[in-house]
Structure 1
């Protein structure tokens, strides 16, 4: 009777397995690219859900109410606050926006005339023609721009509604996500999700506080300088401050242009207000936010804003910072701590 010796595994098997893994990863990357807008909307809903759930959890620590009641009170309170702001300041804000729309062209004309009077006058004379050509191109694509804006509003509504559903039943969706993973990986993934949720909640709270402070101080500083539409610029700065590094720079441009309608000195003063407040945010507010959330390297944040903006467009720029925060924490927990066994933890304790 012949004894059959065990067959040695084929030397091509490890290579074939690697090829299959690479093909699977490539397929997932292609699928993610095709569904990029959907994934971005889902993440936006997660951000809204984390914010609402965090506020509801804070309320439950002070009031003995069920989870659903706390969430309902939070949503009702936010609706009442926003409605009160619109009723109290809506007319003023609308007037400021209208004044901003009508004043900015005059500000640009005055700035352009000031540049023409300088040594770069001949080069500056060609700018109106270039702007006119750009305006013609913009008008050609106006339909696409309107459709894109409508799509952005739709995405925002989906994020808000989806965020409410996620905040109402966070454990349900969390369990569903964990069940997609192998059993031996679920505990590690659960820890990473918990840590990323804590950090994102802390980052959002700190960032909204920074937006309120910077927007208020910007409006006050520009008002003291006599810059037109100071309230509108302050509101714009507060909203754009959600986009770190880039947002305040964008807000400084119309502030300086409107300052030129008064004098070049006022325009310089407006820029100085932004510089001082950015130093305040960078050296005081952001360290406080990072101490409560995560110490995110500025270069990583800057390149993430650029890369995600290129991939996903304007909505990607808006969500780039919180997405980078979450990915940074997930990489630390899933790769650095567990794959590399590095115990250096930058995530704060609860």
Structure 2
């Protein structure tokens, strides 16, 4: 009689084939759910922001976690409300003026470049990149599908911030017992890195927005307040954000006076030099140190995978993945230091 048990080599091949099929299936599922995963990550970002705001109330004032979180939500809403009350009408008025002024400024620029033979190449470049520009313009809406997904991210962030330990334990239960300790350390490290990175970006955004608004106002550029706000918001996007923020200001300056455009270009260049050489090194002393080349390719990869929404969330997502790889693989396998400042380097 023949032995019904297959040889060991056959069984090993079948086991590996099943594992490969399972991995491929999980990868395909994650690819299909990539938009949902991005929404979840957006909710995590909101939770991190709320946790940072609530921490002083919880640790210094000894308030209950629920009350501290409620105060954090109220403070965030109050900040937006006060900002809108103080600058909302002005920003809305300047935004409407910008919508009318920028097309005229574009046509003025083309007319001035016509004698130099540069108008048509510029038109061709604008038509070629029109699809990209329109997608960038819809970044805020592409994170979800509109207001409903934005509310989903905000509500999800509040729930995450309300019970972080509960969701942390839930994630750890998906990991085999022998690896839960390492996974817990990796989650904690990535959360700390994300908080530090967000803190650094908020400081940079505030400084860049303030300097841009004041500088454009002193130069006499129309809608200086709105352009400063745009510069602050786009500063959240590394590399590409400052370039996008400078375009409307340069168009308005060209329409007014070509010499003014040179001053505006110099202003944006000076602000970026201050941000890159003064503000950023000070911030990075207490933030995660991310190699620039990784950040560039991380942004490109996130944009290719998630579309225009990847432009917004690509940088923080790269920070988290970078720390996870350092903690789960490189540090454990090669015994290299952690990227988190102040952490035990042994």
Q: In the superposition, relative to structure 1, how do residues 49 and 103 fare at CA in structure 2: closer, same or farther (>3 Å)? A: same
Q: In the superposition, relative to structure 1, how do residues 130 and 239 fare at CA in structure 2: closer, same or farther (>3 Å)? A: closer
Cα offset, 1:288, TM superposition: 2.8
Identify the residue that residue 3 of structure 1 maps to in structure 2.
Answer: none
CA distance in 2, matches of 1:334, 1:23: 24
Contact 2:39/2:143 (8 A) holds in 1? no
More displaced, 243-252 or 284-293? Answer: 284-293
Contact 1:152/1:315 (8 A) holds in 2? no
Q: In the superposition, relative to structure 1, how do residues 9 and 341 fare at CA in structure 2: closer, same or farther (>3 Å)? A: farther
Answering whether residue 318 of structure 2 is matched by residue 324 of structure 1, we say yes
Contact 2:139/2:311 (8 A) holds in 1? no
Answering whether residue 279 of structure 2 is matched by residue 285 of structure 1, we say yes
1:177-232 alpha-carbon deviations (Å, 9 max, x no partner): 11111111111111111111111111111111110100110111111111111111
2:285 is paired with a residue of what secondary structure?
helix
Q: In the superposition, relative to structure 1, how do residues 182 and 37 fare at CA in structure 2: closer, same or farther (>3 Å)? A: same
Identify the residue that residue 50 of structure 1 maps to in structure 2.
Answer: 48
CA distance in 1, matches of 2:281, 2:124: 46
Contact 2:50/2:161 (8 A) holds in 1? yes
Aligned residues: 336
Identify the residue that residue 224 of structure 2 maps to in structure 1.
Answer: 230
Answering whether residue 9 of structure 2 is matched by residue 11 of structure 1, we say yes
In the TM superposition, 1:1-350 aligns within 5 A as 10-118=8-116, 120-121=117-118, 124-125=119-120, 151-338=145-332, 340-349=333-342
2:88 is paired with a residue of what secondary structure?
helix
Q: In the superposition, relative to structure 1, how do residues 91 and 205 fare at CA in structure 2: closer, same or farther (>3 Å)? A: same
Q: RMSD of aligned C-alpha atoms?
A: 2.7
CA distance in 1, matches of 2:31, 2:325: 20
Identify the residue that residue 4 of structure 1 maps to in structure 2.
Answer: none
TM-score (norm 1): 0.88
Q: In the superposition, relative to structure 1, how do residues 149 and 162 fare at CA in structure 2: closer, same or farther (>3 Å)? A: closer
Cα offset, 1:309, TM superposition: 0.9
1:151 is paired with a residue of what secondary structure?
coil
Q: In the superposition, relative to structure 1, how do residues 292 and 20 fare at CA in structure 2: closer, same or farther (>3 Å)? A: farther
Cα offset, 1:49, TM superposition: 0.5
Contact 1:193/1:330 (8 A) holds in 2? yes
Q: In the superposition, relative to structure 1, how do residues 207 and 101 fare at CA in structure 2: closer, same or farther (>3 Å)? A: same
Contact 1:200/1:326 (8 A) holds in 2? yes
Q: In the superposition, relative to structure 1, how do residues 132 and 204 fare at CA in structure 2: closer, same or farther (>3 Å)? A: closer
Name structure 2 gaps, 5 residues minimum.
none
CA distance in 1, matches of 2:190, 2:143: 31
Cα offset, 1:237, TM superposition: 0.7
2:171 is paired with a residue of what secondary structure?
helix
TM-score (norm 2): 0.89
Name structure 1 gaps, 5 residues minimum.
1-6
Cα offset, 1:260, TM superposition: 0.6
CA distance in 1, matches of 2:143, 2:200: 29
Q: In the superposition, relative to structure 1, how do residues 179 and 89 fare at CA in structure 2: closer, same or farther (>3 Å)? A: same
Q: In the superposition, relative to structure 1, how do residues 323 and 128 fare at CA in structure 2: closer, same or farther (>3 Å)? A: closer
Q: In the superposition, relative to structure 1, how do residues 277 and 145 fare at CA in structure 2: closer, same or farther (>3 Å)? A: closer
Q: In the superposition, relative to structure 1, how do residues 16 and 268 fare at CA in structure 2: closer, same or farther (>3 Å)? A: farther
1:261 is paired with a residue of what secondary structure?
helix
CA distance in 1, matches of 2:277, 2:128: 42
Q: In the superposition, relative to structure 1, how do residues 299 and 59 fare at CA in structure 2: closer, same or farther (>3 Å)? A: same
Contact 1:96/1:229 (8 A) holds in 2? yes
Cα offset, 1:127, TM superposition: 5.9
